[in-house]
Every structure is written in C-alpha cells, then in structure tokens.
Amino acid sequence: MKKMILRGFLAAFGATVVILSAVGAGKVKTDTYPTTFEVYALDRKHDLLILQDYNGNVWTWEGIEDWCKGDIASAIMSDNGTEKITDDEILKLQYSGYFY
C-alpha cells in the first residue's frame, strides 16, 4: 500500500515538474538595469531628448519638458530579454544633476 501511494506521489510530482517546465519555457526572461545618461541634444521639433550613455550609445526619450543640454539623467532600462543593447529601452528617466 505504501509503495502504491509513493509511486502515485512521484508520478504526480514528475508530471507537475514537466508541466511547469513547459509553461516557463515559452517566457522570455527580461531584466532591468540602471544606467546614467547625459543630455546630448534636444530635438524641439519632435519633442525628443537625445541622450548619450558613458559607453557612447545614443538613446532618445520623448518629452523635453524642462531638460537642458548637459543635464545628467538616471534611468531604469529593460534589456527586452536579449543580449543586444540596441533593442534595450528606457523604462523610467529621472533628473540627477547637470554639468557646467
């Protein structure tokens, strides 16, 4: 009797692991990371900030508001589940200071 209960438990446990593995396999794992930008330029015609990170990558953010060239911005980025930095996106942008 104990062997049948144990076998039934192991079979149910194994099936659960297989199902959960299959459900998780289709999901893309995305990570967020912080970074810092300098406002490189302002495109007033299109209401865009042109931002440059300290690796030289250039990014845009819609909404100039009261940003100025030389402002420092902290950001939370999403890697969109890939290794390529070119498809990363800015999730949140926060003013941090400025350069003279």
* pLDDT tens-place values along the chain, 100 residues long: 445 554 554 455 454 444 444 455 555 678 999 999 999 999 999 999 999 999 999 999 999 999 999 999 999 999 999 999 999 999 999 999 997 7
For the chain, give the percent of residues with pLDDT over 70: 72
Query: Position of tokens 């931002």?
Result: 51
Q: Is residue 2 part of a domain?
A: no
Q: Is residue 21 part of a domain?
A: no
Q: Are residues 83 and 54 in contact, defined by beta-carbon separation less than 8 angstroms?
A: no
Give the pLDDT confidence score for residue 25 in this predicted structure: 54
Interatomic CA distance for residues 53 and 78, integer angstroms: 15
Cα 97 from chain centroid?
Answer: 23
Give the pLDDT confidence score for residue 16 in this predicted structure: 46
Q: Is residue 53 part of a domain?
A: yes
Q: State the residue range of the domain holding 61.
A: 32-98
How many structural domains is the chain composed of? 1
CATH number at residue 64: 2.40.50.140
